[in-house]
Amino acid sequence: MTKGHVFLVGFMGSGKSTVARLVAAAIGRPSVDLDDMVEQRSGRPIPEIFAEDGEEAFRDAETQALLSLSERPSSVVACGGGVVLRPENRAALRRMGTVVFLSVSAAEALARIGDVSTRPLLSGAGGSLAATALLAAREGLYRSVADIVVDTEGKTPDEVAEAVSAALEGAS
C-alpha cells in the first residue's frame, strides 16, 4: 500500500466523494473531502463563496485546505474538480501522496450531477457546453498529476472503488 495520502482527482461528477468514502473504508484510512474543508473553514457553502468573493478567493481557500493536509494522518482525499488548475496545487498533490484520476465523459458527469445549482461553474447558461469545454481544458492536467487512472464511465461507485483499491495494492 502507498505512503502518504491518496488523492482522488477528476471532473465534477466523476464520483470522487463517494468513491473516497468507499476506498477509505476498504483500506482502513480516514476519508477527507477538500470541498467540505473549505466550506467548514469559511462557514459558507461553495456557491455562496463563489458569488460573494469570486472564484480566485475560493481557489485560495482550496490551496490552503490542501496544504493543511500535510499535518493529517494518511487519508483518502476527495479533491474539488479544479484543484489541478494551480501549479502549486499540482506540486503539492504529487509531493504529499498518490494521485488517482477518476475519468468520466462530460455527458455522464452531467447526468450524475443532475441538479447543477451546487456547481457554480456549471450552473450558468449553457451548462453542458461549459462542462465539455472545461473537461477538455483540464483532461491533460488530471493526467499530468496522476499515478493511477481509473475510467469510471458506466461503472458504479462500488466498482470504481474496487478498481482504485486494487490499483493501490499494486502501487509501491
Applying CB under 6 A, which residues contact ligand S3P?
A: 12, 16, 35, 46, 80-82, 119-121
SS3 of residue 32 by DSSP: strand
Cα separations in angstroms, 121 against 116, 133, 156: 9, 11, 25
CB nearer to ligand S3P: give 63 or 171: 63
C-beta of 31: minimal distance to ligand S3P in Å? Answer: 13
CA–chain centroid gap for 38, Å, is: 13
SS3 of residue 130 by DSSP: helix
Number of Cβ within a 10 Å radius of residue 139: 14
Q: How many residues does the chain have?
A: 172
Number of Cβ within a 10 Å radius of residue 130: 18
CB nearer to ligand S3P: give 102 or 163: 102
CB nearer to ligand S3P: give 12 or 141: 12
CB nearer to ligand S3P: give 45 or 169: 45
C-beta of 96: minimal distance to ligand S3P in Å? Answer: 18
Rounded distance, CA 45 to CA 38, Å?
Answer: 9
C-beta of 45: minimal distance to ligand S3P in Å? Answer: 10
CB nearer to ligand S3P: give 35 or 147: 35
Rounded distance, CA 131 to CA 6, Å?
Answer: 26
C-beta of 119: minimal distance to ligand S3P in Å? Answer: 5
C-beta of 86: minimal distance to ligand S3P in Å? Answer: 11
